[in-house]
Amino acid sequence: METGNLFSAIPAVMPDEIVDQLLTGNGFNVERIVSKGHASPDGFWYDQAQNEWVLLVKGAARLRLEGTEEPLELSAGMYVNLPAHRKHRVEWTTEDEETVWLAIFY
């Protein structure tokens, strides 16, 4: 048995986003992602080979999905399921508190 806490081991200063692999299994991967004022680089789009289900556990963020006019505003408790190769980017995350994501790639 293994236990943990999604809010532990978050440093006060985060020059880079933190990505921790929490669990892997047959065809899936679970990650904790911690952002604080981080965003995708200009012109960069995620184009992942796997589906991604992501839950915003704490904080807030704005996602942009390629080909859509309106961004997706996320707050704590909201989730989105992104099909493989659905291009997306993070436009912003809150600067005054951590944004904690739980992502399942499958």
Residue 54: CATH number of its domain: 2.60.120.10
Beta strands 28-35 and 99-105, pairing class: antiparallel
Domain around 82: 18-105
Q: What is the pLDDT of residue 68?
A: 94
Mean per-residue pLDDT of the chain: 97
According to the model, what pLDDT value does residue 14 have? 93
- Would 32 be classed as within a structural domain? yes
Q: Give the separation between CA 70 and CA 18, rounded to whole angstroms.
A: 27
> Which residue ranges in the chain fall short of pLDDT 70?
none
In a domain, 1, yes or no: no
Q: What is the pLDDT of residue 38?
A: 97
Q: Is the dihedral of CA 42, 97, 3, 16 positive or negative?
A: positive
**Closest to 74 in 3D by CA, of 95, 54, 60, 53:** 60
Instruction: Calculate the alpha carbon distances from 70 to 9, 25, 39, 85 in Å.
Output: 34, 35, 17, 19
Number of domains in the chain: 1
13 falls within a domain: no
Residue 54: which of 70, 38, 25, 76 has the closest Cα?
A: 76
